Amino acid sequence: MTFNPDELRYVNYLWDDLVADQLDPVERLRYRSNLLGADQRITNTGGGNTSSKIRMTEPLSGTEVDVLWVKGSGGDLRTATRANFASLSMDKFLSLENIYNNADVKGVKTEIEDAMVDIYRHTTFGLNPAASSIDTPLHGLIPFRHVDHMHPISVIAIAASKDQERLTQEVFEEEVGWVPWQRPGFDLGLVMKEKLNQDPDLKGLVMGQHGLINWADEDKACYELTLTLVEKAARYVEQRDKGEQTFGGQKYKSLDEETRTEILVRLLPTLRGKVSQINKFIGTVHLTESVLEFVNSMDAQRLAEIGTSCPDHFLRTKIKPLYVDWDPQKESVETLLEKLEANLVKYRSDYASYYESCKRPNSPAMRDPNPTVILIPGLGLIAWGKNKSESRVTSEFYSLAIEVMRASEAISEYQGLPRQEAFDIEYWLLEEAKLKRMPPEKEMARNVVVVIGAGSGIGKAVAHRVAKEGAHVVCADLSEQTAQETAQELINIYGLGIGVAGTGISSCGPAIGLGVDITERESIHAMFEKVILAYGGVDNIIITAGIFVPPDKQGHIPDEKWALTYAINVTGPYLVADEAKKIWQAQGLQTSLVITTSANAAVAKQGSFAYDTSKAAANHLVRELAIELSPLVRVNGLAPATVVEGSSMFPRDRVISSLTKYNIAFDENESTESLREKLAVFYAQRTLTKSPITLADQAEMAYLLSSSKFSKTTGQIISVDGGLHEAFLR
- State the minimum distance, in angstroms, from the CB of residue 211 to Zn ion: 5
The four Cα atoms 528, 531, 537, 539 give a dihedral, to 10 degrees, of -80
CA distance 595 to 51: 54
Buried b (16+ CB within 10 A) or exposed e, 82-96: eebbbbbbbebbbeb
Helices and strands (H, E) in the chain, number of each type: 26, 18
Residue 184: CB minimum distance to Zn ion, A: 6
* CA neighbor of 413 nearest in space, from 292, 295, 310, 306: 306
Least distance from C-beta 710 to Zn ion, angstroms? Answer: 45
Q: Vertex 689, ends 686 and 693: CA angle to 5°?
A: 75
Q: Minimum distance between the CB of residue 48 and Zn ion, rounded to whole angstroms?
A: 6
The residue at minimum Cβ distance from Zn ion is 211
Helix (H) or strand (E) holding 276: none
Looking at the Cβ atoms of 177 and 211, the one nearer to Zn ion is 211
Nearest-angstrom CA–CA distance, 478 and 465? 20
In the bound complex, what is the minimum distance in angstroms from residue 212's beta carbon to Zn ion? 9
Task: Considering the complex, state which of residue 177 and residue 537 has its C-beta at the smaller distance from Zn ion.
Answer: 177
**Smaller CB distance to Zn ion: residue 205 or 287?**
205
Where do contacts with Zn ion occur on this chain (CB under 5 A)? 211
CB of 581 to Zn ion, least distance (A): 47
Q: CB nearer to Zn ion: give 211 or 457.
A: 211
Residue nearer to Zn ion on the CB measure, 180 or 558: 180
Q: Which residues are within 8 A (CB) of 382 and not within 5 positions of it... i.e. 6 or more apart?
A: 268, 271, 283, 284, 285, 286, 373, 374, 376, 536
Contact 414, 306 (CB under 8 A): yes
Alpha-carbon distance values, 389 to 316, 394, 508 (Å): 12, 9, 9
CA pair distance 463, 486, nearest whole angstrom? 8
- The minimum distance between CB 287 and Zn ion, in angstroms, equals 28
116/693 with CB nearer Zn ion = 116
Which of 183, 115, 101, 179 lies closest to 142 in space, CA to CA?
179
Which of 211/377 has CB closer to Zn ion?
Answer: 211
Say which amino acid occupies 305: E
Please name which of 315, 321, 306, 316 lies closest in space to residue 424, comparing C-alpha atoms.
315
Provide, rounded to whole angstroms, the least separation between the CB of residue 69 and Zn ion.
18
Q: Shortest distance, CB of residue 210 to Zn ion, whole angstroms? A: 6
Q: Omega into 377 within 30° of 0, i.e. cis?
A: no
Return the number of the residue (69 or 528) whose C-beta is nearest Zn ion. Answer: 69
Residues 359 and 427 sit within 8 Å (Cβ to Cβ): yes
CB half-sphere exposure, 702, CA atoms < 13 A:
34
What is the rounded distance in angstroms from the CA atom of residue 311 to the CA atom of residue 319? 9
Complex with Zn ion: residue 139 or 203, whichever CB lies closer: 139
Query: Which neighbouring-strand residues pair with 513?
Result: 475
Question: Any idea what the Cα angle at residue 409 is, between residues 211 and 237, rounded to 5°?
Answer: 65
CA atoms of 56 and 66, how far apart (whole Å): 6
At residue 256, φ and ψ (nearest 5 deg) are -70, 160
Q: Is 192 helix (H, G, I), strand (E, B) or coil?
A: helix
Name the DSSP class of 297: B
513 neighbors 488 (Cβ within 8 angstroms): yes
Supply the angle between the helices 672-685 and 652-661 in degrees, to the nearest 10. 40
Q: Which amino acid is at 43?
A: T
Give the span between the Cα atoms of 406 and 243, in whole angstroms.
Answer: 10
Laid out side by side, the sheet with 322-323 consists of: 282-286, 380-385, 373-376, 322-323
Nearest to Zn ion of 141, 655 (CB atom): 141
* Smallest separation (angstroms) from Zn ion to the CB of 230: 14
SS3 646: coil
Q: Is 611 a catalytic residue?
A: yes
65 has which bridge partners? 56
If we measure between CA atoms, which residue out of 273, 149, 146 comes closest to residue 220? Answer: 146
CB of 26 to Zn ion, least distance (A): 22
Shortest Cβ 436–Zn ion spacing (Å): 23
Q: Could you say which of 223, 611, 683, 703 is catalytic?
A: 611
**Is the CB of 148 or the CB of 477 nearer to Zn ion?**
148
Backbone angles phi, psi at 471, to 5 degrees: -75, 155
How far out from the chain centre does Cα 216 lie? 35
Q: Alpha-carbon distance 125 to 558, whole Å?
A: 76
* For Zn ion, the closer CB: 211 or 573: 211
Question: How much of the chain is helix, strand and coil, in % rounded to 5?
Answer: 50, 15, 40
Question: Nearest approach, Cβ of 152 to Zn ion (angstroms)?
Answer: 11
Rounded distance between C-alpha atoms, residue 472 and residue 700, angstroms = 17
Q: At 554, which amino acid appears? A: Q
> What number of residues does the chain have?
730
Strands 64-71 and 85-89: antiparallel
Catalytic residues: 611
